């Protein structure tokens, strides 16, 4: 296919290089955006008197037909086209004759492709935000249904303090809320229309950039013609949002994988979100969780690809930038697929309350609370810590291997004198207050401050996040 820029003098491009440089295989995906941009541009050229009203009307009719066909899937994009931009122009010219030849006045493929990517990103961001809200709602539903299940909370993957399953899921939820915010922020910064920057220096024609920006749904035209065609920050920010999101999902999926193991046994995965083994009939494998975890690597790859591709790249447009599409489309597709899978996975969690509780009862998770008991009775924290540690050591000594007595039983066995012998800070403490203070439920329910695992705090946070999700879903 002859190129729009080819003449008899220049001669033909090497067919191998032609195929190598072609982007139609990937940028055909920008067809709706390219047609929308062309339509707004043509209408503006007509209004500004740069082309005749008749030419503008013919272009409008031709472009509407193409938009319709693209929507219906009947517009065939030939694989030998150089890119989506030259395809649209060539198609219009072959259908309309002369009016098609007027379309490209005052624009370049450089500002066209920058525009197409921004339009595409705006839509992809909307879709991703919707999928994020679905995932968030699935997490909130699971948190609400299991608000008060006692679970050991971990640091260093060692049992640390008692929390609830609901509270743990809310940790996922607030990170998803931030992920959502990242896409909102990025979309606001990307809300500038590059069209009119032309190749790099703007156009000497009397373009109306404000009108084109408004017609395409942007708040304003981009501010610098060189930056407009050189800048791919919107791509990087979008891919970065995807990478951070996938980092979160991969951590949660790692937790699901651990929890579903016999060693933890905190959740079972319903058959709708787990697989069997081809050889070991007893197995249920958390494959969807593992695959989401694995696909985080792709998300990072896409981001790094965009960053490295632009490193040291001189302004303004360089053909290197054509590579942005592979990374951006893959980042969007991958994030979307992972979010949808994650939503199913979350709703397939079957929490095992007994296993969670038993694990929480075993690890002296009351130890920090024992110290706080003394702090509230005027013992300096470091002294209280030492006294609590002595209680832990006594408990561990009584416990022996493989047995798990209750701390209430151990304190009863020690008695007032035995307790005081552990550490002077324990002398004369009221046992009738200490024993219930150390129960896991009491430890959790004392924590009602903002962001804490107590029932009321958790309920408040679930309500806040539900309202956030509803408000965002109703928004633009
Ligand atoms: N296919 C190109 C891209 O994606 C379109 C812009 C080409 N511009 C140029 N001056 N060759 O970046």
DSSP result, 442-469: HHHHT--STT--SHHHHHHHHHHHHHHH
> Rounded CA gap, 62 and 52, in Å?
15
Summarised one tens digit per residue, pLDDT across range 184-215 is 999 999 999 999 999 999 999 999 999 999 99
From residue 160, alpha-carbon distances to 46, 223, 353, 369 in Å are: 70, 53, 18, 11
> Distance from the CA of 67 to the center of ligand 1, in angstroms?
22
Specify the pLDDT at position 31.
97
> Whose CA is closest to atom 12 on ligand 1?
322
Q: Which residues of 158-171 are buried (b: 16+ CB within 10 A; e: fewer)?
A: ebbbbbbbbbbbbb
Pocket test for ligand 1, best of 113, 229, 315, 328 (most atoms within 8 A of CB): 113
Question: How many C-beta atoms surround the C-beta of residue 108 within 10 A?
Answer: 19
CA of 110 to the centre of ligand 1 (A): 6
Q: Whose CA is nearest to atom 7 of ligand 1?
A: 109
pLDDT tens digits, 132-158: 999 999 999 999 999 999 999 999 999
pLDDT digits 0-9 by tens, 22-35: 999 999 999 999 99
Give the C-alpha separation, 331 to 448, whole Å: 39
Q: Is it true that domain 15-105 has CATH number 3.30.70.20?
A: no
Of 394, 399, 404, nearest in space to 370 by CA: 394
β-sheet bridge partners, residue 155: 158
Q: What are phi and psi of 257, to 5 degrees?
A: -60, -45
Task: Specify the ligand 1 atom closest to the Cα of 319.
Answer: 12
Ligand 1, CB within 6 Å, residue ranges: 23, 27, 83, 109-110, 113, 317, 319, 321-322
Name the fold adopted by 110-207+220-352. Answer: Fumarase C; Chain A, domain 2 (1.20.200)
Domain assignments of the chain as residue spans, ordered by start: 15-105, 110-207+220-352, 367-438
> Pocket of ligand 1, candidates 4, 28, 86, 110: which has the most ligand atoms within 8 Å of its Cβ, to mutate?
110
Show the DSSP H helices in 205-352 as ranges: 209-215, 225-230, 233-259, 287-310, 324-347
Task: Say whether 163 sits in a helix, a strand or coil.
Answer: strand
Residue burial 24-43, b: 16+ Cβ < 10 Å; e: rest: bebbbebbbbbbbbbbbbbb
Which residue's CA is the nearest one to ligand 1's atom 4? 322
Closest by CA to 197, choosing from 237, 230, 219, 236, is 230
* Mutation test residue for ligand 1: of 18, 33, 107, 109, the one with most atoms within 8 Å of CB: 109
Buried b (16+ CB within 10 A) or exposed e, 354-380: ebbbebbbebbbbbbbbbbbbeeeebe
- Residue nearest to ligand 1 atom 3, measured at CA: 322
CA of 302 to the centre of ligand 1 (A): 20
- Distance, in Å, from the CA atom of 393 to the CA atom of 383, rounded to the nearest integer, reads 15
The Cα 176–Cα 137 span in angstroms is 10
**Catalytic residues, which ones?**
156, 277
CA of 105 to the centre of ligand 1 (A): 17
Q: SS3 sequence, 387-412?
A: HHHHHHHHHHHHHCCCCCCCHHHHHH
Divide the 476 residues of the chain into consecutive groups of 10 and give the mean pLDDT of each group: 67 89 95 98 98 97 97 93 94 95 96 98 98 98 96 95 97 98 98 98 98 98 98 98 98 97 95 84 90 98 98 97 97 98 97 96 93 97 97 80 75 94 96 96 95 95 97 85
Task: Quote the pTM value.
Answer: 0.94
State residue 396's pLDDT score.
86
């Amino acid at each position: 296919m002859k190129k729009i820029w080819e003449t008899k003098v220049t001669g033909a491009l090497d067919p191998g290089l032609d195929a190598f440089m072609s982007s139609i295989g990937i940028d055909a995906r920008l067809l709706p955006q390219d047609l929308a941009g062309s339509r707004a541009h043509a209408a503006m050229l007509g209004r500004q008197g740069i082309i005749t009203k008749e030419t503008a009307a013919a272009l409008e009719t031709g472009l509407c037909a193409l938009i319709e066909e693209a929507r219906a899937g009947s517009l065939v994009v030939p694989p030998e086209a150089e890119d989506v931009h030259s395809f649209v122009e060539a198609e219009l010219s072959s259908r309309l004759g002369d009016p098609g030849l007027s379309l490209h006045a005052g624009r370049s493929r450089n500002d066209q492709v920058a525009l197409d990517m921004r339009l595409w990103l705006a839509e992809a961001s909307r879709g991703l935000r919707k999928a994020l809200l679905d995932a968030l709602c699935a997490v909130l539903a699971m948190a609400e249904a299991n608000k008060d299940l006692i679970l050991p909370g971990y640091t260093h993957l060692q049992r640390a303090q008692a929390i609830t399953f609901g509270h743990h899921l809310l940790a996922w939820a607030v990170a998803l809320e931030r992920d959502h915010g990242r896409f909102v922020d990025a979309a606001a910064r990307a809300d500038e229309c590059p069209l009119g920057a032309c190749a790099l220096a703007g156009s000497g024609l009397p373009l109306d950039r404000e009108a084109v920006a408004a017609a395409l749904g942007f708040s304003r035209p981009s501010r610098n013609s060189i930056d407009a065609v050189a800048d791919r920050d919107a791509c990087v920010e979008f891919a970065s949002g995807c990478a951070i999101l996938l980092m979160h999902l991969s951590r949660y999926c790692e937790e699901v994988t651990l929890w579903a193991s016999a060693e933890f046994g905190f959740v079972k995965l319903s058959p709708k979100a787990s697989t069997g083994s081809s050889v070991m009939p007893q197995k249920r494998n958390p494959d969807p969780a593992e695959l989401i975890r694995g696909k985080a690597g792709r998300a990072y790859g896409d981001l790094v690809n965009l960053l490295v591709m632009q490193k040291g790249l001189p302004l303004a447009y360089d053909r290197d930038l054509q590579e942005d599409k592979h990374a951006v489309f893959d980042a969007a597709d991958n994030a979307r697929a992972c979010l949808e899978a994650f939503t199913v996975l979350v709703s397939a969690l079957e929490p095992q309350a007994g296993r969670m509780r038993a694990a929480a009862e075993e690890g002296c998770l009351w130890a920090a609370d024992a110290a706080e008991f003394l702090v509230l009775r005027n013992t300096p924290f470091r002294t209280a810590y030492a006294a609590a540690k002595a209680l832990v050591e006594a408990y561990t000594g009584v416990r022996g291997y493989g047995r798990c007595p209750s701390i209430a039983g151990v304190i009863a066995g020690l008695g007032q004198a035995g307790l005081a012998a552990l550490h002077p800070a324990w002398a004369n403490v009221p046992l009738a207050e200490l024993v219930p203070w150390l129960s896991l439920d009491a430890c959790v329910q004392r924590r009602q401050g903002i962001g804490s695992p107590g029932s009321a705090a958790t309920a408040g946070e679930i309500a806040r996040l539900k309202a956030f999700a509803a408000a965002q879903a109703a928004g633009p």
